[in-house]
């Protein structure tokens, strides 16, 4: 039965890590995958997470099945974080939240449910977007197109073109939006632009699917939720996927959530019953550990403060690396000021695929062939090597 099976293409980003791991050069740097490393180049275990894990281990909880929708305390903590605990949507019972297997799992459950809800709709992702967005919605059976987003000339957003794309969509089209820290470009919308996007989505009867994988990495927990606040005030119904892979450094625990905003509490009950049906036929119910840890951190005032401080530390370190890279490249005569304007983990540098290839071959520096680099992998020890190497490959 397997004789005719072809080799599937590698994930373009995760494949870089495989090549990086096989490289024996000691000065190698992996700017490919979107993972936050500390200044020692290590994946952090946050102190707030450590404390919550120790308490959980000491309590030695039994490992029964979770409810299909996951841990209630977790789902509520996620709602408070994403929508704000005083949100009228929460008070009205208009939001359902289920624990999901990372942000990817949330997108997958949301996509499968949408396919049942609006089977003929077309899905649009930003041009460019996280590669898995397309694959996830295509595998749910949707046709996936793109909306204009990135402007290579300004290394920012071509907002006029984005609006034109949105305005041209048919009713019920699903629009996947990055809440903040756009992956891969680092170019985000302004608050005023978000307001316009919400208005177009409402006027054209589009369905927003907001992907929030980096809450807290641009400006802070609240500031990064500006799109959520504007959508909340719109009266629309929409989808939100959240991920705690980055913000809690819990990548492998697969902690995320899918939230859906409905028109009423009564509608919420019906929608939740359908989403649970999708979950049941995928993995039945989510694992216990990661969600319990995030819930414990978010519901303890001390651990929550500690986590916010640690998250701010990650955010500020990335910003410092952005500014340092701009300065070091300036010393080489290159204007990379846009790197300090872009937000989150990533920057679209404008480096060509050939230049990225040279970075790898000659300097042991791995980046995505599109020119995307992960700033969160820079540190005070590798940044000179990276800046010097970029300056070298920019020489004709
Ligand atoms: N959405 C975006 C925009 C991402 O960059 C990522 C990165 O991993 C995800 C979703 C997936 O999140 P997770 O790793 O929690 O599945
Ligand atoms: O874009 C990134 O690098 C992260 C990590 O299939 C990632 O979002 C990359 C590819 C993938 C899953 C996660």
> 215 CB under 6 A from ligand 1?
no
Q: At 122, is the secondary structure helix, strand, or coil?
A: strand
Atom of ligand 2 nearest to the CA of 104: 12
Considering the chain, tell me which residue range(s) the CATH 3.40.640.10 domain(s) occupy: 65-299
**% the chain with pLDDT above 90:** 97
User: Distance between CA 148 and CA 124 in Å, rounded?
Assistant: 10
- Atom 5, ligand 1: residue with shortest CA distance: 183
Give the per-residue pLDDT at 311: 98
Q: Which CATH architecture has domain 14-45+307-394?
A: Alpha-Beta Complex (3.90)
| Strand ranges for the chain from DSSP E | 29-30, 95-101, 122-127, 143-148, 150-151, 156-157, 174-178, 207-212, 238-243, 255-261, 346-348, 365-366, 372-374
Distance CA 365, CA 359 (A): 5
As beta bridge partners, residue 99 has 257
Q: Is the peptide bond before 323 cis (omega within 30 degrees of 0)?
A: no
Cα 3 to ligand 1 centroid, rounded to whole Å: 34
When pLDDT is cut at 50, 70 and 90, the band that residue 313 belongs to is: very high
Q: Sort residue 45 into left (φ over 0), alpha (ψ -120 to 50) or beta.
A: beta
**Residue-level length of the chain:** 396
pTM score above 0.80: yes
343 lines ligand 1 (CB under 6 A): no
Q: Which of 51, 113, 123 is nearest to 293 (CA)?
A: 51
Number of H helices and E strands in the chain, helices first, is 15, 13
**From the alpha carbon of 104, which atom of ligand 1 is closest?**
16
Each residue of 326-341: pLDDT tens digit?
A: 999 999 999 999 999 9
CB atoms near residue 319 (< 10 Å): 16
Q: What is the pLDDT of residues 368-381, one digit of tens each?
A: 999 999 999 999 99
Report the pLDDT value the prediction gives residue 12, as an integer from 0 to 100: 83
User: Which ligand has the nearest atom to the CA of 102?
Assistant: 1
Atom 1 in ligand 2: residue holding the nearest Cα: 34
Name the residue at shortest CA distance from atom 1 of ligand 1: 213
Residue 336: alpha-carbon gap to chain centroid: 24
Which DSSP string corresponds to 187-212? ----HHHHHHHHHHHHHTT-EEEEEE
Residues annotated as catalytic are 130, 211, 246
Q: Is the CB of 34 under 6 A from ligand 1?
A: yes
CA–CA dist 101, 71 (Å, integer): 13
Cα angle at 349 between 343 and 351, to 5 degrees? 165
Ligand 1 neighbour 307 (Cβ under 6 A): no
- Going by C-alpha positions, the residue among 62, 48, 86, 115 that lies closest to residue 299 is 48
pLDDT tens figures, 15-27 = 899 999 999 999 9
| CA atoms of 322 and 276, how far apart (whole Å) | 42
**Nearest ligand to the CA atom of 106:** 1
- CA-proximal residue: ligand 1, atom 7 (nearest): 213
Task: Using the atom order of ligand 1, give the atom closest to the CA of residue 245.
Answer: 15
Task: Tell me, in angstroms, the distance from the centre of ligand 1 to residue 243's CA.
Answer: 6
Residues of the chain with CATH 3.90.1150.10: 14-45+307-394
Q: Yes or no: say if 262 and 94 are a contact pair by the CB < 8 Å rule.
A: yes
The CATH T-level fold of domain 65-299 is 3.40.640
How remote is the CA of residue 127 from the centroid of ligand 2, in Å? 17
* pLDDT in the model for residue 300: 97
Closest ligand to 373 CA? 2
If you measure from the C-alpha of residue 167 to the centroid of ligand 2, how many angstroms do you get, rounded to a whole number? 30
- 11 CA from centroid of ligand 2 (Å): 9
Residues near 225 by beta carbon (within 8 Å), at least 6 away in sequence: 82, 83, 84, 179, 212, 215
* Closest Cα to atom 9 of ligand 2: 13
Cα separation, 72 vs 79, in Å, equals 11
How far is residue 225's CA from residue 276's CA, in Å, rounded to a whole number?
26
Q: What's the first-to-final CA gap in the chain, in angstroms?
A: 52
Mean pLDDT, rounded, for 245-265: 98
Answer whether residue 396 shows pLDDT above 80: no
Distance CA 263, CA 237 (A): 7
ipTM over 0.90: yes
Atom of ligand 2 nearest to the CA of 132: 6
Question: Would the CB of 247 count as within 6 Å of ligand 1?
Answer: no
The answer to whether the CB of 291 is under 6 A from ligand 1 is: no
């Amino acid at each position: 039965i397997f004789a005719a099976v072809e080799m599937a293409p590698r994930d373009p980003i995760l494949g870089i890590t495989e090549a990086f791991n096989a490289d024996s050069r000691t000065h190698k740097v992996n700017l490919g995958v979107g993972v936050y490393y500390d200044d020692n180049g290590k994946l952090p275990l946050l102190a707030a997470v450590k404390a919550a894990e120790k308490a959980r281990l000491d309590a030695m909880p039994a490992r029964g099945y979770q409810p299909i929708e996951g841990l209630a305390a977790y789902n509520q903590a996620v709602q408070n974080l994403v929508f704000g605990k005083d949100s009228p949507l929460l008070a009205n019972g208009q939001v359902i939240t289920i624990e999901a297997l990372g942000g990817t799992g949330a997108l997958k459950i949301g996509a499968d449910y949408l396919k049942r809800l609006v089977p003929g709709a077309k899905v649009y992702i930003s041009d460019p977007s996280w590669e898995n967005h397309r694959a996830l919605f295509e595998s749910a059976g949707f046709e996936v197109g793109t909306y204009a987003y990135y402007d290579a000339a300004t290394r920012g957003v071509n907002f006029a073109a984005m609006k034109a794309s949105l305005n041209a969509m048919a009713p019920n089209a699903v629009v996947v939006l990055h809440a903040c820290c756009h992956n891969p470009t680092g170019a985000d919308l302004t608050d005023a632009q978000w307001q316009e996007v919400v208005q177009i989505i409402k006027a054209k009867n589009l369905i927003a699917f907001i992907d929030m994988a980096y809450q807290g990495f641009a400006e802070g927990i609240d500031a990064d939720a500006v799109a959520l606040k504007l959508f909340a005030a719109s009266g629309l119904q929409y989808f939100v996927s959240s991920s705690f892979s980055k913000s809690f450094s819990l990548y492998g625990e697969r902690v995320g959530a899918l939230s859906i905003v409905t028109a009423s509490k009564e509608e919420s009950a019906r929608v939740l019953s359908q989403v649970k049906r999708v979950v049941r036929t995928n993995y039945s119910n989510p694992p216990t550990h990661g969600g319990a840890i995030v819930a414990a951190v978010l519901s303890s005032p001390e651990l929550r403060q500690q986590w916010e401080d640690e998250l701010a530390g990650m955010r500020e370190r990335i910003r410092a690396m952005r500014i340092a890279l701009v300065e070091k490249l300036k010393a080489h005569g290159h204007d990379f000021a846009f790197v300090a304007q872009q937000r989150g983990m990533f920057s679209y540098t404008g480096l060509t695929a050939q230049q990225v290839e040279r970075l790898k071959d000659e300097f042991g520096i791995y980046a995505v062939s599109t020119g995307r680099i992960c700033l969160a992998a820079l540190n005070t020890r590798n940044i000179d090597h990276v800046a010097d190497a970029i300056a070298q490959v920019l020489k004709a």
